[in-house]
Amino acid sequence: MTISAGTVQAVLPASPAPMRMGDPVLLSSSQARAVAFRDELRQLVAIDSGSGQQEGLDQVADFLAQRLSRLGAQVERIPANPSAGEIVVGRIRGRGSRQIMLMVHYDTIFPDGEADRRPFRVEAGRAFGPGVADAKGGVVMILQALELLLERKFTDFATITVLFNPDEEIGSRGSSELIARLAADQDVVFSFEPSPPDSVIKSTKGIAYLTLSVEGRAAHAGASPESGRNAAVELAHQILALQELGDSSKGTTVNWTRIRAGDRPNVIPADATATADMRFSDPTELVRVRDEIKSTIQRRRVANTSATLTVRPQRPPFPANAATQRLVRQAQAIHQELGLNLKAVAMGFGTDAGHAYQPGKQGPAVLEGLGVVGGNLHSPAEWADLESVPARLYLVVRLLETRPCPLPGPEPCRE
């Protein structure tokens, strides 16, 4: 059901948990932004912006460019070739020295027309609609947090760089290079994918797609099947031989997800392909899996067939690291100001945090999962928790205003 502003206030907690050393003015301002957050989220969810949907992506890019301009940002729009849509980059200048980057995507996985079929609605404090959590809720979190910074006249930063990209759901093919280049100049990068309740994300996995292609020889399936070389049969044997490529001790999974063979039921297939989804935390695992597959496919079950492997890296891992742990400790201390506990979780999906993280370099500290609390992602039941918005806004603004904790330290730090 659609709810009124008064109803939104009613579903928020009647009063926050007792504060220990927090900022009551910021908490009050964060709570007061609940209605504006909901209304802005409704506007964005009403626009179909699935990856590749040029018209909807352009509408969202227009909206984001205007919003950033009103926040005082210098705005640049960059085509995300070969993807559809534009990368919207805004830069807000301050008077300090810290370089900060906020980023999230605005494309979704949903088809054209989904916003009309499943319009934005709120039930029991949760918002529903296509992309409501992943990641339009993150987009609004950035905009509303910047509004709060402006309201608080906070300028103790050199530049806050905001990046909204239109192609994360298809591997960020047109934006990954820019993300990495901009992130290299930052002190800290905050990414706004959704997170589980009471959590931020300390690591995500890399993604690669592995395609195994088999070539055989076509023949009539009834008159002379023996003269053919069945590519489907060879592919089936190879897949069975490649079932144990994962390594649970390293967090590596390899799952064969798509198979195709032949075009007609009465023809021995001359070609067949299978694609596997690989997730990994250790970058060296990609080399190991590739080499194991190449070795295995040298052994043929169907004579006179050939097999080749194509590896398509989609996104590098964002591994657990000391710089991120500093930010986790900072976030935990901030949540404790509200009497709340905060977990740091490792997620099996991949995000653009992997492009922002700079392994082996003096790169930025990166923290993921600062968007809305949400669940059932990539499904018609996807939801975003509106009741958690004030606490999350409080967390984001305090992270922007506060420098990270020193290393190391097992306990949440306090400034």
Number of Cβ within 10 Å of residue 287's Cβ equals 11
Instruction: For residues 97 and 74, give the distance between their C-alpha atoms in angstroms, rounded to a whole number.
Output: 18
* Active-site annotation holds for 168: yes
Residue 133 preceded by cis peptide, ω within 30: no
DSSP codes joined into one string, 136-172: HHHHHHHHHHHHHHHHTT---SSEEEEEEES-GGGT-
| DSSP 3-state of 343 | strand
What is the C-alpha to C-alpha distance for residues 239 and 257, in angstroms, rounded to an integer?
A: 11
Helices 389-401 and 24-32 sit at what angle, rounded to 10 degrees?
A: 130
Told to judge if 107 belongs to the known catalytic residues of this protein, a careful annotator would answer yes
Q: CA-CA distances (angstroms) from residue 31 to 145, 274, 352?
A: 12, 50, 29
Q: Which residues contact 49 (CB under 8 A, 6 or more apart)?
A: 56, 57, 59, 60, 85, 106, 107, 108, 131, 166
State the number of CA atoms in the 13 A half-sphere of 382 facing the CB. Answer: 25
**For residue 24, is the peptide bond before it cis, meaning its omega torsion is within 30 degrees of 0?**
no
Which residue in 23, 40, 114, 168 is the catalytic one? 168
| The 365-367 sheet, strands edge to edge | 74-79, 86-93, 159-165, 99-105, 188-191, 365-367
Radius of gyration (Cα) for the chain, nearest Å?
Answer: 24
Q: Could you say which of 23, 86, 107, 169 is catalytic? A: 107
- Within 10 angstroms of residue 381's Cβ, the number of other Cβ atoms is 10
According to DSSP, the residues that pair with 215 across neighbouring strands are 271, 306
Residue with tokens 């296509």: 130
Q: Which residue has the tokens 């990856």?
A: 51
Residue 407, CA distances (Å) to 157, 396, 404 in order? 22, 21, 9
Strands in 152-252 per DSSP E: 159-165, 188-191, 199-204, 206-215, 219-220
DSSP per-residue letters across 265-324: TTEE-SEEEEEEEEEESSTHHHHHHHHHHHHHTTS-SSTT-EEEEEEEEEE--B---HHH
Active site residues: 107, 168
